[in-house]
Structure 1
């Protein structure tokens, strides 16, 4: 471009010396202020520029610059108007643009951070006045010879307090493509966070020596498409020595969605200031090491330095918390979708199923290699199509779904991997490659590694290589994992996994599969020794696996079914420090507290989890704690909203059936339970149907349902207790005692909360009253609001002829809404003749 020569020697009191630069619409001159004897820069429209937009822009720039007075923003001194034109008299900056500075300087990291901090200061000033720059790029950052950064060229800046459609009418998307935010490229409304994206492109280029998006040969339009739709190049791929916290910061600044970027330029400044204070002047390696020692205690000093240290701690603390907030990884809740395979896989009879299991295990393993991420269990309902599965994942609060589709031809499979956002059903990343189906172990590692690369580097843990299994042993493991998915596992599978763990103690997948099968079998038979065995295995694995965070997640899963609150809290705290998604942790804590009978605390944690992730699962946790705590009104309201938003969340209908049962609304209970498809009813749901028949006096039908349940889950304590009570209602005392004796044997020595109250009930019915009362007092102390405990206590006090205590418990139950049908057992009828029993109780339960 030809440089424009000065059109006149004098503009008012300003004497033009030479041209500094020229663009399509304007010219910038170096001039002398003859009155103040200082050099200035004058920006003036070219005479051949007839664009109304150009004139509007320079007027707008004058108005905005007049509001700005900051050392990191080029200052406006004067405005000249003549012949309808306008010229801006501005501070003259002796130096160069940041673009030229980057070409000419090889600066240490700390110096680069200092420049970015100054840019943040200038942006903070502009944003505080409601001004968005909209064209922040290295060419519009001036660096003085003494190292001061100044933001210039507010020509297309916009005040958020005023509309600026007149400025951009001729070119709706104003700005430079490789510095513009995705929302700016799409012509969407802008806020200050748009400038933060542009700041991210500047910081990326300054720190990494490359641009975040590869322009390629497609020109500006192709680049714009990449900025809007494709992820930026991982920062540590551009410069592998970049400290991880800075890589995380760049990932945050370059987030596609504005709300995922830092809140303000001030917040970015505080984070950079902390790192600047902690880093070395010249040694990048030393700087990187200080990042891992963010809050090390300062060395002791003489007392007279205490005030200085206090000031330093406050400054560092502010920077640290700013940094913590900015570099905090957004929690990811990851689910693995069913693997789709077409074509033939040569090998065993179940070769296709084993290949699908291998792929699924690989994707689950990839999720465990990511920070701030939790794996969400997901099994689609039969016949559910792809869109319905994504909808179900949205309901569970899943942020990322991993999906694999395979096309196999005998021993060769082509695989397409995708990372999908269930919220908008859009594919975030994808890749494809081929592998040999008879080399499944190698394929699993490759699939895991490629999937991990879908996520920003800040999320990726340091990779660790586990010892490969022999083909025979890997085949055994894969066979067990395949049968676990179809729920066809037994104790022999646990034994086989334990043998494999002794051979391959560093293989995390073996521990995870063992824990998964353990919890499944425990839910089937309630044998607590399973949990102890699994925990012992996990503890031995901690000394074998370098990164034990994923093993801790497995431990927390087991402990959520155990009774050791102290151990659960310890594991919970360790995972919390390691950054496991908070909603996931709170949900597990709520479930654990529910199992312990602490419904008040369980409700609080469930509500906190739902506030972070309002998934169906977290809302259901709220409902079960409300129900167990006796607040039926609140539980009904929660379940009503839940079933309206998630009409196929079948557990909610089952729980609603429980509430209606306890409230004596048998017809409503039956309606809620039968809303659930027969094939999806769990043994507990079927058992509740039996309770419905029990409450309306159809004891034979209730007994029939209970016995069907017992066939599905042999030696199930709650069902045996229900059978015993049904025999009592029918007058079959001997059969009732036999069932209670089985309950007593099965629950002897158990620390499980539900087992303990069934144990107390069996003791009382077998005339071991003092033992029953002692255990009841303990349970009431631990869970005074528990509906089941109150009901069992009422029975035990009645059998022990402690009439006053029995009356008190029944009054509590009636007041919270329990139906009178629950007190039809023969034992309760004895209360009707006792003077210690209240009139309200007698009126409610006596004929």
Structure 2
């Protein structure tokens, strides 16, 4: 490392401050990594040489929680400290990038107090205790560093430093004791006050003397340290042990004479608090007498306890003389005892295998399907409306991200939740039944102009009453309304505590990096605008892109960008939105780019581009990166459905339903069967769905469609008339038009067909339906123009429904070869479909190929296509055939061919 330190090889700069630079180096003699601190400024004679002072002080203390010094090199104009290299992060960085339970935080504070106690026992006062001088490694080991301005408190040395101690104001104003700020003489109690600020901030989540958005200037905070008493921690942590909140406040007592705690006493009290918390968590679990528990269901330590009397050798002093076993010498073992030993060994082996099986079963984590309800504000909240939106959005987003980031948890989509709550706004049990949720998380906030009391409730099915929900756990806490990062992190911490049986809540995937408060606020504003109010726009996409450029580690924003870009593409068919999404995903940091969430985003990008080969690759990648089974089944079903493989789609949705019995999956199953033409199975799934949620629009609409296909015209017309009154949708108007046409009410049919086309002028079904009505009414030129538009839209489509519509349009245009080619593709994709058979009957009837037409009429009727569909004029030519008349008589439509 230059010529001044020939035994060391400098590798890289670790950090730099006002008093020096710190390098990572290799100790060539001892073959170990070290940290070398080089003083950048050599003080003049008479001034305190801080580097040498730090070396002398560290040499006095040898403790696992304090950075150790190995050597000091004083070259006159160049001073270097050779210290222990500790691969770690500052406490600030560690907390931002790691999820810490309260027990873990107490462990860190216990280590900090132990290190501080060791320093104080060696008469060393740190004088600059703050989060940036506290290091934590990946295993959670903590060490105190930077004793550059520390003082010696022993009587024998204190005299030579008295002038330095009095009037000293080195260090950070944010973490100073009142006496240090006022430049009074210092002792160990100054460190206790600084420790109190660090501990309060770590446990509560905010600086005890900070107010407002940024807490004010350092000078303002220093003034409050000297003059104000901080708010009691118990008011900010409603569920924290009083022993802990009282300890925090004892460390922050301002009058020096009343601040009597020592670091050793703090360490001891923290140890007891932490032990009590762990025991409380254990005792919250259901307990039954040991004798009633299968041995394999016990923790390993309990198994050893239960077995120790059976497996430990009998102690001679506790055995009656008459039963003591006498020693034997080299006696042969009889054959029957050899057999018994073998049998016993096999029995023990079997028992061990059974125990291992039960132990694994006992430790399996049950998968959760979680609904996150939108947070509600109590009537007493006096916060401004805009701030209400931001705070509720911050809490909601934190909870949703926590579920997404937890293995064995599946987040039920907000769209699915909204569909149920819209129809059943006050029935949470109906929501649970309809979504297949195992857990519902509700949040209520009661806010004033500075903070909110936040209440989380975890609701599950009542074991004794399926029609009621039970509160499994609750958490209450206080949140500052102007610190969104704090709201996010604390919400996730409190959410994790709702699931004590889940040891890895919010820990299975991405590790969050520090996000600038302003950037996070911008994200929450966009989240509220897009997710909360559905106001996605090109402008919001621009803002999201700029935000991700500034803050690429704001992982949640990628999913929001993907949703916004996809919605804009679907609305406009402008492919530039998909290109922008692709570029944003390409520029994401490696942590996100190689995560399961990137694979999910890429799947939807490929699907929007109709690139099913790439979509399949993304499904494989998502599965490899740990996507849950429900997500993979959903992707598979979507791809099968998009490719016209309706049977495989129905199978995938059925398998997903076994994991999460939801009405949405029932509907998707029914819709797949409907597309397949299996009306019986479609109606079976719908009937189950309608028993759960009888007012569901999608289910009622699909049921009406089935009635229409079955020829139950009165039921279909009645259902569609009710639907179009409340929801004026183009597809329902078209279906009502078809029902009127089948009922030979052609003028009404024309009216609703025109309304449908006006709403969706490029929808091929609307075009085809209106063309058919115009043709029936004799408006041939208008009909031909509409059929041609259908061909233009569907010519490149290979999906079954599209192919059947295309074949009908070609046959009406007398393009026989093209009509038959489209039919053949449809028959290949869905050979058992009744709708394909019905379309074939139309095509061959219009082409005057009556034999083929009759074959497909019979097949369509056998597949439950309603006989009324053969009343349309396209089949008039078949009335000359006796076989057609007999079919009509068989299916109770004998008047079909009577003039």
TM-score of the superposition, structure 2-length normalised? 0.53
Specify the alignment match of 2:554 in structure 1. 507
- Residues 706/801 of structure 1: CA separation in 2 closer, same or farther (3 Å cut): same
Distance (whole Å) between structure 2 residues aligned to residue 685 and residue 534 of structure 1: 34
Q: Deviations over 1:3-36 (max 9, x none)?
A: xxxxxxxxxxxxxxxxxxxxxxxxxxxxxxxxxx
Deviation at residue 768 of structure 1 after TM alignment: 4.6
- Residues 621/380 of structure 1: CA separation in 2 closer, same or farther (3 Å cut): closer
Specify the alignment match of 2:375 in structure 1. 339
2:393 aligned to 357, 379, 382, which one? 357
Q: Deviations over 1:387-432 (max 9, x none)?
A: 5134222321011222221223235333222322255522233323
Distance (whole Å) between structure 2 residues aligned to residue 677 and residue 735 of structure 1: 26
Distance (whole Å) between structure 2 residues aligned to residue 315 and residue 559 of structure 1: 52
Distance (whole Å) between structure 1 residues aligned to residue 851 and residue 757 of structure 2: 36
Distance (whole Å) between structure 1 residues aligned to residue 756 and residue 497 of structure 2: 47
* SS of alignment partner, residue 731 of structure 1: coil
Specify the alignment match of 2:428 in structure 1. 389
1:629 aligned to 670, 676, 686, which one? 676
Q: Deviations over 1:814-838 (max 9, x none)?
A: 1112123324444443444589989
Distance (whole Å) between structure 2 residues aligned to residue 752 and residue 375 of structure 1: 31
Deviation at residue 457 of structure 1 after TM alignment: 1.7
Asked if the contact 1:561/1:595 (under 8 Å) is kept, the reply is no
Deviation at residue 658 of structure 1 after TM alignment: 1.0
Asked if the contact 2:445/2:452 (under 8 Å) is kept, the reply is yes
Deviation at residue 534 of structure 1 after TM alignment: 5.0
1:810 aligned to 833, 845, 857, which one? 857
1:468 aligned to 485, 497, 515, which one? 515
Asked if the contact 2:808/2:819 (under 8 Å) is kept, the reply is yes
Q: Deviations over 1:213-247 (max 9, x none)?
A: x9999xxxxxxxxxxxxxxxxxxx989xx9xxxxx
* SS of alignment partner, residue 667 of structure 1: helix
Distance (whole Å) between structure 2 residues aligned to residue 403 and residue 807 of structure 1: 60
Q: Deviations over 1:86-123 (max 9, x none)?
A: xxxxxxxxxxxxxxxxxxxxxxxxxxxxxxxxxxxxxx
Deviation at residue 657 of structure 1 after TM alignment: 0.8
Deviation at residue 745 of structure 1 after TM alignment: 3.8
Alpha carbon RMSD of aligned pairs, Å?
Answer: 4.8
Asked if the contact 1:803/1:836 (under 8 Å) is kept, the reply is no
- Residues 432/819 of structure 1: CA separation in 2 closer, same or farther (3 Å cut): same
- Structure 1 segment 396-795 matched on structure 2, within 5 A: 396-422=435-461, 424-440=468-484, 442-455=486-499, 456-462=502-508, 464-466=511-513, 468=515, 471=518, 474-475=521-522, 478-479=525-526, 481-490=528-537, 493-494=540-541, 496-517=543-564, 520=567, 538=585, 541=588, 543-545=590-592, 548-556=595-603, 564-576=611-623, 580-583=627-630, 585-673=632-720, 678-679=725-726, 683-713=730-760, 715-747=762-794, 749-750=796-797, 754-795=801-842
1:374 aligned to 386, 406, 410, which one? 410
* SS of alignment partner, residue 379 of structure 1: helix
Specify the alignment match of 2:247 in structure 1. none
Asked if the contact 1:477/1:510 (under 8 Å) is kept, the reply is no
Deviation at residue 604 of structure 1 after TM alignment: 2.5
* SS of alignment partner, residue 407 of structure 2: coil
Specify the alignment match of 1:221 in structure 2. none
Specify the alignment match of 2:13 in structure 1. none
Distance (whole Å) between structure 1 residues aligned to residue 717 and residue 356 of structure 2: 57
Distance (whole Å) between structure 2 residues aligned to residue 719 and residue 383 of structure 1: 29
Deviation at residue 558 of structure 1 after TM alignment: 6.0
* SS of alignment partner, residue 489 of structure 1: coil
Q: Deviations over 1:154-174 (max 9, x none)?
A: xxxxxxxxxxxxxxxxxxxxx
Distance (whole Å) between structure 2 residues aligned to residue 731 and residue 498 of structure 1: 55
Specify the alignment match of 1:137 in structure 2. none
Asked if the contact 1:345/1:437 (under 8 Å) is kept, the reply is no
Asked if the contact 1:832/1:846 (under 8 Å) is kept, the reply is yes
Asked if the contact 1:480/1:493 (under 8 Å) is kept, the reply is no
- Residues 449/786 of structure 1: CA separation in 2 closer, same or farther (3 Å cut): farther
Distance (whole Å) between structure 2 residues aligned to residue 460 and residue 797 of structure 1: 60
TM-score of the superposition, structure 1-length normalised? 0.56
Distance (whole Å) between structure 2 residues aligned to residue 542 and residue 321 of structure 1: 41
Q: Deviations over 1:755-783 (max 9, x none)?
A: 45444544444455434432332232122
Deviation at residue 656 of structure 1 after TM alignment: 1.2
* SS of alignment partner, residue 865 of structure 2: coil
* SS of alignment partner, residue 370 of structure 2: strand
Q: Deviations over 1:455-481 (max 9, x none)?
A: 322343255124636747853763465
- Residues 677/774 of structure 1: CA separation in 2 closer, same or farther (3 Å cut): closer
Distance (whole Å) between structure 1 residues aligned to residue 420 and residue 515 of structure 2: 35
- Structure 1 segment 203-242 matched on structure 2, within 5 A: none
Q: Deviations over 1:735-769 (max 9, x none)?
A: 33333344344445456654454445444444554
Deviation at residue 340 of structure 1 after TM alignment: 0.9
Asked if the contact 2:368/2:408 (under 8 Å) is kept, the reply is yes
Distance (whole Å) between structure 1 residues aligned to residue 879 and residue 287 of structure 2: 68
Deviates more, 1:758-767 or 1:450-459: 758-767
Asked if the contact 1:560/1:588 (under 8 Å) is kept, the reply is no
Distance (whole Å) between structure 1 residues aligned to residue 589 and residue 863 of structure 2: 47
Unaligned runs of 5+ in 2: 1-239, 244-272, 304-349, 463-467
Distance (whole Å) between structure 2 residues aligned to residue 506 and residue 266 of structure 1: 44
Distance (whole Å) between structure 2 residues aligned to residue 552 and residue 535 of structure 1: 12
* SS of alignment partner, residue 457 of structure 1: coil
Deviates more, 1:602-611 or 1:552-561: 552-561
* SS of alignment partner, residue 720 of structure 1: helix
Distance (whole Å) between structure 2 residues aligned to residue 263 and residue 738 of structure 1: 77
* SS of alignment partner, residue 440 of structure 2: strand
Asked if the contact 2:446/2:453 (under 8 Å) is kept, the reply is yes
Distance (whole Å) between structure 1 residues aligned to residue 606 and residue 361 of structure 2: 30
* SS of alignment partner, residue 458 of structure 1: coil
Asked if the contact 2:757/2:763 (under 8 Å) is kept, the reply is yes
- Residues 473/358 of structure 1: CA separation in 2 closer, same or farther (3 Å cut): closer
* SS of alignment partner, residue 743 of structure 1: helix
Unaligned runs of 5+ in 1: 1-213, 218-236, 243-249, 274-313
- Residues 361/680 of structure 1: CA separation in 2 closer, same or farther (3 Å cut): farther
- Structure 1 segment 218-367 matched on structure 2, within 5 A: 256=286, 265-266=295-296, 327-341=363-377, 342=379, 350-367=386-403
Deviation at residue 346 of structure 1 after TM alignment: 5.9
Asked if the contact 2:804/2:836 (under 8 Å) is kept, the reply is yes
Distance (whole Å) between structure 2 residues aligned to residue 827 and residue 255 of structure 1: 71
Specify the alignment match of 2:39 in structure 1. none
Deviation at residue 379 of structure 1 after TM alignment: 0.8
* SS of alignment partner, residue 545 of structure 1: helix
- Residues 748/581 of structure 1: CA separation in 2 closer, same or farther (3 Å cut): same
- Residues 327/531 of structure 1: CA separation in 2 closer, same or farther (3 Å cut): farther
